[in-house]
Each structure stands twice: as structure tokens, then as C-alpha cells.
Amino acid sequence: MNLNVPVSNNKTTEIDVILIHETGLYVFEAKHYKGTIYGKNTDKSWTQYFIQAENQHFNNPILQNNYHISALNNLFPDIPKHSFILFTSSECTLRIENNSPDVDICTLDNIQSKLENKFFKATKRFSKEEINDIFIKLSPFSRMKQKVIIDRKEADFLSWVTPTIEKLEESQKEVESVKQTLNKEIEKTKQSLISERASLHESRKKGIIFNIIIAILCVIISAFICSNIIKKNTNELNTFKQKFQHINQIDNKYFKDLSSYVSVSNIQLSQLHSDAASFTARISMSNPTYGIALTEASTYIVMLDDGNVLEYNVFGEHLNYNAFANIIGKGIRDYGDLSTINLYGISDTNTISYIKLTGINLFQVNNINAIIKDNLEIELYSK
């Protein structure tokens, strides 16, 4: 539903989308921005960064949605409410620091998984009838010019949702029917193969030496091929197991930064000349189980006090990327010094709010070095 909810006697606030669920109300603030979005959940405004265009600033949508939720609290003080900030553009990259457990920031690619996680963790509180009552209470605030009528009666929530449920149930029956048909075909094919195998066994008993030789050759070739396939699959399975185990250990779904695994020291930030600064630092692994690797996509992100964001590629014509030289981990090397980079366009180092290094892979240190998580970032410097 899209609503205009009253906040006072003569004022309302517009809620983009509200989802009524058995676990509570899910309030969505939708943004249709492109580019790279920078900000923190506590900032008053966020920055929309473009490589070849001027940066834009916009109000923090978390604070906007908090205002919407406070209006809903006047109507439903006892119902849990969950805040979702949704960026709808496929050309949008999010670099938001969010420390609030009550807020989810997502894109169309991951909104389903975030909602499912919320549904799974939250307590179920409302029946279909209670959801319907909430729907009816919110309906007067809808922007629809006319009430929805079905068979000359006002449509309630159950009238809206029942046909959809019935269609889904019908689709489920069709899927089950197809599944049963496929199972029958599989069983038929299986019986046919058994029959052919029995026939082949009978012909072998009659035996012709030539056929036996051919059969032996086939077995040898098949065994060789299967051995290679099994070996390959075993390696892939081991790799997968290691990835899965360690993804589970570090809770990969919510893993956002490397602060628990990496320490930063020997920070050197100085003014190079009137329009450039220089920067370097040392990165050390504080966890012996994991290592990190810079990639060809590794980039410095510099946020200035005025909200402007600057990006600098780590590797290019002056510094070539080397896969082994940019790996840090136990048994490889315990730390690495970043090559000094010139931060052009900065006239005063005191205006730098923070510096991050992005495009980093985290891997488990062993003979496989399986990547656990890619495209991570490290905060190298902040005021």
C-alpha cells in the first residue's frame, strides 16, 4: 500500500510502500538513484557520487523513514515496525555504514533475502483476520481515489489476497503433476536400462572373445575417465566444503568489513603540494586463519568533510598488479606496506574525513586458498 498518514491535525507524511505481515509492519522508503551512494546511518545527508559528473546530496532516507514510522506509532503503538531503505536502480552501488539493527538498506537484488531473514527471525503475532483489520484501518489513508469494489461490496484484504493464494496453490498442483510425470519417466527409463543390462549380461554369457575384449577396453577407458571426474569433483567438493564451512563461521551473509581480521598501522598522510596529498599505510593480519588479497579492482575511496567523494585506482600504468605480491596471510607474509599513492585534487589533508580501500578478497590460508568473501573494504584512516 502507498499511504498518506497524518502526523498532526493538518499535516500528513507519504509512505512509499507498507507491507502488512504476520510479524509486523514493514515500512519502505524507495529511492531511484544511480551512481555510488555514500553515507552513514547517522548523517543528515548522503552523497550521490558520479565519476564524470558533479556529486549530488540528498536527505538521509533512514531519518525520513523514521518520521514515517513515528506517524504510524500514533495509529498502531503496539505493532512492531521494521524500516527498509530500497534503492531500485540497477546502476546503483551502495557504500553505506549502517550500525542500526532496526534498519535494512537493500537493492532489488537482495530485498527478498533480507525480508525472508526478517520474517524468519521475527515472532509471528497476527492471524489473517488481524492482518485484515490492520489493512481496513489503513485503507482510509490510501491515495486511491475510489475504494476497490468486488461484486458491489468493499474489498477487504482477504478478498484481495485470496485469488492470489488460489493461483499459487493451483500452480503448486501443476508443479506436483509435472514432478509425478517426470518420476514415472525416470522409473520407466530405469527399468529399460535394467532390462538392457540383463540382456547384455546374457549375451556375455554366450560370449565372443572380441566382445569381451571390447568390453574390457570400455571398462578401462570408463574407469580412467571416471577416476579423473571423481578426482576433479572431489577437489571441487573439498573447495566448496571449505568455502561453506568458513562462510558459516564468519556469518558471510552479514559480513561487511575486515576490522576483525586486519589491523592498520604506520599511517602516513601528508600534503604533497597545493593540489595533491600522499598516503601510505601498513596492513597486518590479526587472524592466522585468514588472509587477504588486493585485486585489480582495488580502489581508494576518500570522503571529504564537504561530502565530496574521490576515487583512486590502486593499480595502473605506474603500479602493476601482481597476484602473489598482493597477498597477506600466515605463511605468506604477516603484513604488507601499501605503495604510496598521490591523492590529486586535495588541497588540505585536514579536509579528509576518512580513507577506505575497497575491492579486497578474504580467503582461508591453506593449500587451496579458497576465497570466502570478495569485494570487501578496509577503513585505513578516519578523523
Domain CATH code at residue 316: 2.60.40
Domain C-terminal end among 234, 249, 264: 249
Nearest to 260 by CA among 226, 238, 237, 286: 286
**Cα 5 to Cα 72: distance, rounded to the nearest angstrom:** 7
Residues 338 and 358 in one domain: yes
- 3-class secondary structure, 30: strand
230 vs 315, residue with greater confidence:
315
Residues 70 and 12 in one domain: yes
Residues 140 and 10 in one domain: yes
C-alpha cell at 85: 531503505
Residues 245 and 275 in one domain: no
**Cα 19 to Cα 49: distance, rounded to the nearest angstrom:** 31
Residues 209 and 312 in one domain: no
Residues 20 and 140 in one domain: yes
Residues 275 and 237 in one domain: no
CB-CB neighbours of 297 under 10 Å:
15
**Cα 148 to Cα 368: distance, rounded to the nearest angstrom:** 60
253 contacts: CB under 8 Å, gap ≥ 6: 113, 117
Q: Would you say residue 159 lies in a domain?
A: no
| Beta carbons of 29 and 84 less than 8 angstroms apart | yes
Q: Would you say residue 51 lies in a domain?
A: yes
Roughly what angle, to the nearest 10 degrees, separates helices 128-138 and 157-206?
A: 140
**Cα 252 to Cα 109: distance, rounded to the nearest angstrom:** 17
C-alpha cell at 298: 582495488
Distances (CA, A) of 193 to 189, 190, 198, 211, 336: 6, 5, 9, 19, 60
**Cα 133 to Cα 323: distance, rounded to the nearest angstrom:** 60
Residues 269 and 357 in one domain: yes
Query: What sign for the dihedral angle of Cα 246, 249, 255, 257?
Result: negative
Query: What does pTM read for this prediction?
Result: 0.49
| Beta carbons of 96 and 40 less than 8 angstroms apart | yes
287 vs 342, residue with greater confidence:
342
| Beta carbons of 61 and 47 less than 8 angstroms apart | no
User: Please, what is the average pLDDT of the chain?
Assistant: 80
Q: Would you say residue 281 lies in a domain?
A: yes
pLDDT of 189: 79
Give 369's pLDDT tier (boundaries 50, 70, 90).
confident
Residues 65 and 126 in one domain: yes
C-alpha cell at 261: 581480521
Give phi and psi for 172, each to the nearest 5: -65, -40
pLDDT of 309: 85
Residues 274 and 241 in one domain: no
Q: Would you say residue 318 lies in a domain?
A: yes
Task: Rank 10-14, 205-209, 248-252 by mean pLDDT and report only the highest.
Answer: 10-14
What would the pLDDT profile of 70-101 be if each residue is shown by its tens digit?
999 999 999 999 999 999 998 899 999 998 98
Residues 18 and 136 in one domain: yes
161 vs 124, residue with greater confidence:
124
Q: Which domain holds residue 102?
A: 3-145
Please compute the mean of the pLDDT values over residues 301-324 and round it to a whole number.
81
Q: Would you say residue 243 lies in a domain?
A: yes
Nearest to 62 by CA among 94, 108, 103: 103
pLDDT of 304: 86
Beta strand spans in 62-188 (E): 81-87, 92-97, 103-107, 149-150, 153-154
Please report which helix (H) or strand (E) contains residue 88, including its range: none
Q: Would you say residue 158 lies in a domain?
A: no
Domain C-terminal end among 249, 269, 303: 249
Q: Is 80 exceeded by the pLDDT of residue 171?
A: no
Q: Would you say residue 175 lies in a domain?
A: no
Q: Would you say residue 180 lies in a domain?
A: no
Tally the domains of the chain.
Answer: 3
Residues 207 and 340 in one domain: no
Give 27's pLDDT tier (boundaries 50, 70, 90).
very high
Domain C-terminal end among 216, 234, 249: 249
